[in-house]
Chain A
Amino acid sequence: MRAPAHRHVDGVFAALADPTRRRVVERLARGGTVTASGLAEQLPMTRQAVAKHLSALQGVELVSATRVGRETHYKLRPQPLDEAAHWIQMVSAEWDDRLEALRRSLEKRGSRSR
């Protein structure tokens, strides 16, 4: 097992660094699909601003878009978030193991010299 490639994870974190974009994601996380106009009614933003954020999220595959007639319907794709969380979990667990091994290695030496 290994952490997913950083490239993807980086993009996801960068996209979520924007607090407004996180609000969009949190709204999408409630489920279902939304349109830019529908979302703009629920958030203190213009339709254009919402559309820009949705497009950025689509760029890192956090959001999928489906064209329905004249409207675009957006939906959250959870997989990139899982990958980002997975990167943190994997790397944290790896270092916990290594630091524990470091501690044992140092203390084994310490008891030998005392």
Chain B
Amino acid sequence: MKLRDRPEVDEGTPWVERETMVEASPEEVWEALTDEDRLEEWMAPEVDLDPTEGGEIAVRDGDDRRAGTVETVEEGERFAFTWSRPGEGESFVEFTIEALPGGSRVTVVETPTHSMATKTAAGSTAMAASGWGPRLARLNRAMRFAPVA
């Protein structure tokens, strides 16, 4: 069961998507993503995680603390949770694991959950939003060179 579907995104959604290829099987990646001791090897010095849907996650790196709820657990394939810093907006974070010859691809997506209210027609994909980086860069450049009024 999924507590919450992956958010539909449209052009109004700030969306970050990053990926990496690793020389490890999807099973090994899954363990590194969902075991709290393994998470402490790479995510943050202190991680508490109950890796079941509805379970809690707490991530601490010195003064930087985030806490949230596990949303999706699909063993070996998909792991998602929400997290937020105290007093700040909440983000949805989703990992997907894909088997490759000799390893795996790990993709992570982070998007503010406020944006999840912005539903769009079916078929909307991350691609629609991934143009944001360049678009903002263009706008910022345009403004930098704009004559001062």
Contacts and interface: CB of A to CB of B under 8 A. Distances in A.
B106 interface: yes
A95 B115 contact: no
Main SS of chain B's interface residues? mixed
A86 B115 CA distance: 17
A99 B12 contact: no
A6 B88 contact: yes
A109 B43 contact: no
B14 A17 contact: no
B136 A81 contact: yes
B110 A6 contact: no
A45 interface: no
Contacts of B33: 102
Contacts of A84: 14, 136
B67 to A, nearest CB: 15
B42 A105 contact: yes
Interface string B24-38: 100011001100001
Interface string B112-131: 10110010000000000000
A91 B114 contact: no
Q: Which 8 A-B pairs have the closest CB atoms?
A: A6-B89, A17-B12, A31-B146, A101-B42, A106-B24, A99-B20, A85-B136, A29-B142
Main SS of chain A's interface residues? helix
B18 A2 contact: no
Q: How large is the interface on B (under 10, 10 to 19, 20 to 34, 35 or more residues)?
A: 35 or more
Interface string B56-95: 0000000010000000000000000000010111110000
Given A2-B85, A7-B114, A29 B11 contact: no
Interface of A: 2, 5-7, 9-10, 13-14, 16-19, 22, 25-26, 29-33, 75-76, 78, 81-82, 84-85, 87-88, 91-92, 95-96, 98-107, 109-110
Given A30-B142, A78-B140, A106 B29 contact: yes
Contacts of A29: 139, 142-143, 146
A75 B147 CA distance: 12
Contacts of A76: 143, 146
Nearest to B40: A105
Could you say which of A14, A100, A101, A109 has the most chain B C-beta atoms within 10 Å of its C-beta? A14
B88 to A, nearest CB: 5
